[in-house]
Amino acid sequence: MKQPRFTVQEFHRQFPDNETCLKHLFETHHVHKQCPKCAEKGKYHLQFGTSHFVCQCGGHQISPKNGTIFHKSDTDLVKWYFAVFLMSQSRNGVAAKELERAVGVTYKTAWRMQKQIRLLMQEDVGLLTGEVEADETWIGGKRKRQGYRDNKTIVFGAVQRKGKVSTRIIPNSQEQTLLESVRDNVARGSNLMTDEWKAYKTVAILEDHNHSTVTHSKNQWRHGNTHTNTIEGFWSQLKRSIDGTYHVVSPKYLSSYLSEFQFRYNHGRTSDEHLFSFLLSRVGLQHVVAVQRIGACRSLRAA
């Protein structure tokens, strides 16, 4: 499904100023709020010169930015909305320097805005089923002349064909590590397709997967319906974007970049609404807390 069209002209027409953005934020999350003072619903109005909505009785007020990624930010809300729009539009990501110029904020503010917006892109994909491709890749760092990987971060990924992708940073590609990664991301009994790395054979047996492989070391990229081209395509897009847009990504923040590209892959092709609107519906930090709790529970279960 092709993502609905939403141009920059339409953005500025729909969200021309701070007041419009504040009203949109309030209507999205608080429109049916009941006043604890007079028990009336839907009787709030924007207080002139502030970002607060006050009930007609005067006994209660709401700040729609509280509990969202905009909380305690002095940056105009219309700039925040435009930053969300830009990050939802780009297939290859948006550099903080580019955001600084486009939105009209300092580099420090642009970097923080990106970090907060990526929180909206965190999600628990759940277990993949059916035909699932799994693979690892190395991101960042430099290569020595001998060809060994130096200062790189290992990332595991699994993708369900015609479905979603799930990624995670792993310390190594040993059997136990891959077992935990596959167990947390792929449903038992799925059709697991990998390269010839021997650790996957044991993983498949322990997790009751129907396992098939391709031998990349012998230039075998497809054997019948068996291949890892889908996950390789995701890796290719991810690396091109990091190299071309961000140039260097610190291992400390790599997981948030993975969340961004995973989110865009998972929703950009299948969502019936523009990613900008979808992200705005998730601005409440309660969404992020819920995802973090799910991730923590899964980690404890795996342990």
- In this predicted model, what pLDDT tens digit does every residue of 263-275 receive, in sequence order? 999 987 666 778 9
Residues 146, 57 within the same domain: no
- What pLDDT does 147 receive? 52
Q: Residue 67: which pLDDT band, with cuts at 50, 70 and 90?
A: confident
Q: What is the CATH classification number for the domain harbouring 195? A: 3.30.420.10
Distance CA 228, CA 161 (A): 10
pTM here is: 0.85
pLDDT digits (tens, 9 = 90+) for 36-50: 888 888 788 898 888
Question: In which domain, by residue range, is 106 found?
Answer: 8-119
d(CA 169, CA 250): 13
Domain annotation covers residue 33: yes
Beta bridge partners of 291: none
In a domain, 20, yes or no: yes
- Strand order through the sheet with 53-55: 44-46, 53-55, 61-62
Tell me which range, 137-151, 181-195, 277-291, is most confidently predicted by mean pLDDT: 181-195
Q: Rounded mean pLDDT of 230-249?
A: 92
Q: What is the pLDDT of residue 132?
A: 98
Whether the predicted pLDDT of 291 surpasses 60: no
- Mean pLDDT computed over 199-209: 95
Q: Are residues 135 and 254 in the same domain?
A: yes
163 and 239 belong to one structural domain: yes
Q: Within this chain, do residues 81 and 166 fall inside the same structural domain, yes or no? A: no
1 within a domain of the structure (yes/no): no
Question: Does residue 92 carry a pLDDT above 80?
Answer: yes
pLDDT (0 to 100) of residue 264: 92
Domain boundary among 89, 119, 149: 119
Q: Provide the number of structural domains found in the chain.
A: 2
**pLDDT of residue 15 exceeding 60:** yes
Answer with the one of 119, 139, 171 that is the final residue of a domain.
119
Please indicate, yes or no, whether residues 114 and 145 belong to a single structural domain of this protein.
no
The closest alpha carbon to 234, from 137, 112, 106, belongs to 137
| 207 shares a domain with 88 | no
